[in-house]
Structure 1
């Protein structure tokens, strides 16, 4: 009660100045929150872009290092090493295809033999005309 009586006793210009001050403080706080949110989203966006750029630069640097090493080896007269992993992989794929083809050929051949083993028998039915009647 004591505080409310003091506020009522202030002059009109003091009350207007106090309201203006409160509105200014509120506006500054809101602006600060907006700036903080904008800075946070910009930081997240720039972090993603920087990460992508870093990956791109890293892969380009690796490629440049690899090419420089190969160029140095070529100038030194060294032949490039055989790609053993590629050769071994191709051999394994070829072996797998050959095994599959062989298995399919054996399966097809066994089916043909089973057809040759079938024996057909002529059966005379009682209601059919006999050969002697012809």
Structure 2
């Protein structure tokens, strides 16, 4: 009796989300059971085919459960978590690229400084200069 009152006091979106979750989990379980039965019969027929099908069934069931959890969270109004691994990885790659660019720039500038010291200026006399600088 106490449990029934709690269920009745929930808001309408919570009840809808709960019903959707129940439908999703039952669909996932029934799909998983039927696929597992198919895999078992295939395993009896050929061992190699059954091993591949078993791996595929496990992967499909895991993906279905993951999607069901994401769907339930979306129905409940929860936002997905930030992909911290991706963000940290992108930051590290950006830092590595920045470090490489800075090192290349420093090397190019030091080469230019050394080359500037080696430049020798030559005074050239040009006969019949139109500007009249020679005379």
TM-score, normalized by length of structure 2? Answer: 0.55
Provide the C-alpha distance between the structure 2 equivalents of 1:68 and 1:82, rounded to a whole number of angstroms: 19
When the two chains are superposed, the root-mean-square deviation of aligned CA atoms in Å is 1.9
Find the counterpart in structure 2 of residue 117 from structure 1.
Answer: 117
Question: Residues of 1 paired with 2:64 and 2:121: CA distance?
Answer: 79
For the pair shown, the structure with the greater C-alpha radius of gyration is 1
Q: Which residue of 1 aligns with 2:63?
A: 63
Q: What are the Cα deviations for residues 26-66 of structure 1, in whole angstroms up to 9, with x where unaligned?
A: xxxxxxxxxxxxxxxxx8x8111101000111111111011
Unaligned runs of 5+ in 2: 1-42, 123-135
Count of matched residue pairs: 79
Where do 5+ consecutive residues of structure 1 fail to align? 1-42, 123-134
Q: Distance in 1 between matches of 2:92 and 2:120?
A: 46
For 1:119 and 1:81, how far apart are their aligned partners in 2?
60
Distance in 1 of aligned mates of 2:109 and 2:94: 22
The 1:86/1:121 distance shift into structure 2, 3 A limit, reads closer
Which residue of structure 1 aligns with residue 54 of structure 2? 54
**1:77-118 deviation line (CA, Å, top 9, x unaligned):** 100000000000000000000000010011011100001111
Q: What displacement does 1:121 show? A: 7.8
Shift, 1:119, TM fit: 5.0
- CA separation in 1, counterparts of 2:110 and 2:62? 55
